[in-house]
Structure 1
Amino acid sequence: MLKKKLFTIFGPLVAAVILVSALFILPIQTNHVRPEVWKKASTAMSGNILGGNMIKNQAIASGEYVPFFGSSELSRFSPFHPSVLATKYHRNYRPFLLGAPGTQSLNQFAVAQSLRNEITNGKAIFVISPQWFVEKGVSDLEFNAYFSELQLYDWLLSLHKTDQATQFYAQRLLHFSRINQNKKMSTILTAIANGKTIDELPMAQLATLKSNYQLLQREDQLFSQIGMFTKNKKVNKFEKQLPEIYNYQQLDALAYKIGEHRTKNNQFLIDNQFYQTRLQFGLKDLKNSQTTWSYCQSPEFADFQLVLNQFAKSHTDVLFIIPPVNKRWSDYTGLSQEMLQNFAAKIKYQLTSQGFNQVVDFSKEDTVPYFMADTIHLGWRGWLKADAYIAPFLVNPQPKVNYQLNNERFFSKQWQEQVSEVYH
């Protein structure tokens, strides 16, 4: 009687544990993702897609999708967003949006590294936000929010030789609580930071890494589509607002008209809803609040060098876009436009001196009406002008890349802290 009662209580639990274990252990084929899932995922910008490997990797490997790296600007959908324009005008590519509010260079390096095979000899778009380059770089909170254990194991298990970039990345990871509060992981990364390779780790550590990686891969296969909130309904809605034939002047006039309509409740030409919900009630406190801000001294410059290392290893041809800051807003907050021009010069030097010559600098478009959607994000006319560079870059053949990395300089503290009007 007691056995029967115990079975009634614990039987379903045991059965559930067995079923879940079977899902992770048995070789059930769940690796293939349907193209309609790629399409949904390409605009979702959800953490499980960004931090997973299966869906995004298969989509980009198909050749139909191009990775668009960035952060919150990618989430500002309008009729002139890259995903809308590519769909409306039947381009031979579709953007796969890789970023979200809070993602910065360290997160983007992890994503690019996880796509190393898929982006080899391919193309990519990368939007550089000046706001990443604050004094302390990416915060612990923001890094942890998008940290992918799967991608960390993927990187670790590929380390059969070490270099300066490898050691630098391991050292940077040890600064964040998701890593340094995990004794096993911090021990492994300390060894990597000191120059060891994956092959030099103790067998027990290596076996644990491989086992955990397999479990995380299985989890990615089974659950990556959960919570994937695609923006494709927005894409479909916005493309209906565009003329059937692409004409830049006609589209720019439309962007001006829409921008004008959407920014009527404030003097900054900021989207009405953004202004009303994010700025209006604290506006007085924001006046002259950014007079001491600088984006020219930051560990982010070295973190960004990690991204360039991965693109160089993969021979990926990348178009970099530097957006402006809304001058009406910066004049109000006291954010120095001179400093912003200095930032643009510094990041362009870091790129072009190493052979990353495809750079679109919009930093002087700060006064163009409706170029920005709000204080710092590309808007109606901004995305349209960006498209005038993006489409030809992606559609037309480009010269073969020839990168010459200077890690000694660009990982250095001196470069992170250098402030100069002339970089050489």
Structure 2
Amino acid sequence: MISKKKLFSAVGPFFAAIIIIGAIIFSPIHWFSGPSAKSIHEAASSMSVNVLKGNDLKNEAMASDKYLPFFGSSELSRVNAYHPSVLAQKYNRSYEPFLLGAPGTQSLTHFFMLNSMGDELNNKKIVFIISPQWFVKEGVGDPMFSLFFSPLQTNDWVMNLGSNDINDQYLAKRLLHFSSVRADTELKAMMKKIKSGEELSPLDKKRAAYNYEILTKEDKLFSKIGITSKSEKIDKKTKELPDVYSFKELDRQAFNDGESSTSNNEFDIANSFYSKRIAPMKGKLENSQVDFDYTKSPEFSDFQLVLNQIAEKNIDAMFVIPPVNKLWSDYTGLSTDMLDLFSKKINYQLKSQGFKHVVDYTDKRSQAYFMEDTIHLGWRGWMQMDRDLQKFLRDKNKPSYNMNSEEFLSKEWQNYTDFD
């Protein structure tokens, strides 16, 4: 029989910690100082869910001139010697990439991250990598959206909402598709109002502001927990590069690295990826993507929300469209005609609204060692992107946007394919 004294000794500190944390979070007093430079540096390469869903670390980074945000998804996690973070560190660039994405992040997550940064990104430059694979029939799936869903950033959007326009109404309608939003009774009720064009009441705004304040304290308290930085791997990879930057020499080295790293398969796929992900089920994958279609999707309208944020903040963005490994798409039956049509559609949506920095690598699908695996930029792909990035960073011309939400938020646009 455990004595009361021993029981209290065992569980007392836990309950005391809960009480202290609760007191800090719900106290009207602000106890927190800003994050340290070391914490921000560690967060920049972590791609941590806490960082993406929070504001504390990423917003502090964006308020400085040190960090260049890279929005994207799983490609950012593949750190080799030619990754943007490695090149920036090795060659003492004026910026450090801040990786804002992870496997499963798509346009809605990026919208909320952009919106949550307030004025920190106004008139600055960003890099945005668009994955064709986001643009499937149903758009982002419920599990992935819910994983990155940020009540903090959503309440931030709600409490600062003015009169509802078509962008707000579209977003509210989209959010009601997801279980993580519908499970929050207050938020669900507010989304229904916004969707219908009804203005939120002062009480709605007050609730959102209160929730935002509490969640902000939680973010400051817990955002640094569980961050696994890639800084050590980045440091290690810099040692593989020559001391002097030369695109020609680095591209040659990238070719050689790609060649030696893809020796166990006929698809120019990295050996480890092929052995773990492809080889065990290779036979089942042949002609498995014949019916895949990235040209009709609500993701096109979700992406328009991102573009509206970029335009509103007068951000200058370089958009990168990666190709699909041609050797692999030939094997799986993924249509190159369909991918070309996707390219035309996304280019039209961007360029017709004034987004002029569009780096489209769709036609690089057959270039040796451009890709690391089936769909992610690899050795020479990162090098080509670095070359385009340096050109983009040197361009001092200010962007001029002509937004057309009425067209690009419509069902007609989501399903439009007539580019002949």
- TM (norm. structure 1) is 0.94
- Give the aligned partner of residue 410 of structure 1: 408
Residue among 113, 127, 136 paired with 1:134: 136
The 1:17/1:232 distance shift into structure 2, 3 A limit, reads: closer
Per-residue deviation at 1:274? 0.5
The reply on whether 1:318 has 2:320 as its aligned counterpart is: no
Contact 1:68 1:124 in 2 (8 A): yes
Opposite residue 254 of structure 1, the aligned amino acid is Q
- Give the aligned partner of residue 401 of structure 1: 399
How far apart, in 1, do the equivalents of 2:259 and 2:23 lie? 58
Question: Residues 285-316 of structure 1: CA distance to partner in whole angstroms, max 9, x if unpaired?
Answer: 11011111111011100000000000010000
The reply on whether 1:95 has 2:94 as its aligned counterpart is: no
Contact 1:116 1:310 in 2 (8 A): no
How far apart, in 2, do the equivalents of 1:151 and 1:169 lie? 13
How far apart, in 2, do the equivalents of 1:322 and 1:138 lie? 18
The 1:28/1:166 distance shift into structure 2, 3 A limit, reads: closer
Contact 1:342 1:420 in 2 (8 A): no
Contact 1:144 1:176 in 2 (8 A): yes
How far apart, in 2, do the equivalents of 1:20 and 1:234 lie? 34
Opposite residue 413 of structure 2, the aligned amino acid is W
How far apart, in 2, do the equivalents of 1:183 and 1:23 lie? 25
User: What SS does the aligned partner of 1:329 have?
Assistant: helix
How far apart, in 1, do the equivalents of 2:104 and 2:323 lie? 18
RMSD: 1.8
Contact 1:31 1:54 in 2 (8 A): no
The 1:15/1:102 distance shift into structure 2, 3 A limit, reads: closer
Opposite residue 226 of structure 1, the aligned amino acid is I
Per-residue deviation at 1:14? 6.2
The 1:407/1:236 distance shift into structure 2, 3 A limit, reads: same
Deviates more, 1:108-117 or 1:266-275: 108-117
Opposite residue 124 of structure 2, the aligned amino acid is G
Per-residue deviation at 1:26? 5.7
How far apart, in 2, do the equivalents of 1:379 and 1:31 lie? 39
- Give the aligned partner of residue 286 of structure 1: 285
The 1:231/1:352 distance shift into structure 2, 3 A limit, reads: same
Opposite residue 48 of structure 2, the aligned amino acid is S
Per-residue deviation at 1:38? 1.2
How far apart, in 2, do the equivalents of 1:99 and 1:272 lie? 25
Residue among 94, 108, 111 paired with 2:110: 108
- Give the aligned partner of residue 259 of structure 1: 258
**Structure 2, unaligned runs of 5 or more:** none
How far apart, in 1, do the equivalents of 2:343 and 2:95 lie? 29
How far apart, in 2, do the equivalents of 1:18 and 1:259 lie? 54
- Give the aligned partner of residue 39 of structure 1: 41
Opposite residue 193 of structure 1, the aligned amino acid is K
Question: Residues 58-106 of structure 1: CA distance to partner in whole angstroms, max 9, x if unpaired?
Answer: 0111110011000000001111000011111111111100000000111
How far apart, in 2, do the equivalents of 1:279 and 1:21 lie? 48
Contact 1:57 1:115 in 2 (8 A): yes
What pairs up with 1:148-167 in 2 under 5 angstroms?
A: 148-167=150-169
Question: Residues 205-227 of structure 1: CA distance to partner in whole angstroms, max 9, x if unpaired?
Answer: 33332222111100111110001
Contact 2:158 2:205 in 1 (8 A): no
- Give the aligned partner of residue 19 of structure 2: 18
Contact 1:125 1:319 in 2 (8 A): yes
Opposite residue 337 of structure 2, the aligned amino acid is E
User: What SS does the aligned partner of 1:321 have?
Assistant: strand
The reply on whether 1:48 has 2:47 as its aligned counterpart is: no
Per-residue deviation at 1:194? 1.6
Deviates more, 1:249-258 or 1:19-28: 19-28
Opposite residue 20 of structure 2, the aligned amino acid is L
Per-residue deviation at 1:31? 3.2
Opposite residue 59 of structure 2, the aligned amino acid is N
Contact 1:109 1:310 in 2 (8 A): yes
Structure 1 segments, 4+ long, off by >3 Å, are: 7-18
Opposite residue 62 of structure 2, the aligned amino acid is I
User: What SS does the aligned partner of 1:364 have?
Assistant: helix
Opposite residue 370 of structure 1, the aligned amino acid is Y
Deviates more, 1:45-54 or 1:14-23: 14-23
Contact 1:319 1:393 in 2 (8 A): yes
Opposite residue 97 of structure 2, the aligned amino acid is P
How far apart, in 2, do the equivalents of 1:406 and 1:166 lie? 14
Per-residue deviation at 1:12? 5.8
What pairs up with 1:151-190 in 2 under 5 angstroms?
A: 151-190=153-192
How far apart, in 2, do the equivalents of 1:288 and 1:249 lie? 37
User: What SS does the aligned partner of 2:372 have?
Assistant: coil
Aligned residues: 415
How far apart, in 2, do the equivalents of 1:288 and 1:322 lie? 24
How far apart, in 2, do the equivalents of 1:145 and 1:11 lie? 32
Opposite residue 35 of structure 1, the aligned amino acid is A
How far apart, in 1, do the equivalents of 2:237 and 2:196 lie? 51
Contact 2:156 2:208 in 1 (8 A): no
User: What SS does the aligned partner of 2:98 have?
Assistant: strand
- Give the aligned partner of residue 368 of structure 1: 367
- Give the aligned partner of residue 73 of structure 1: 75
How far apart, in 2, do the equivalents of 1:152 and 1:417 lie? 28
The reply on whether 1:353 has 2:355 as its aligned counterpart is: no
Opposite residue 265 of structure 2, the aligned amino acid is N
- Give the aligned partner of residue 417 of structure 2: 419
How far apart, in 2, do the equivalents of 1:96 and 1:162 lie? 32
How far apart, in 1, do the equivalents of 2:183 and 2:129 lie? 32
How far apart, in 1, do the equivalents of 2:12 and 2:78 lie? 50
The 1:207/1:243 distance shift into structure 2, 3 A limit, reads: same
Per-residue deviation at 1:128? 0.4
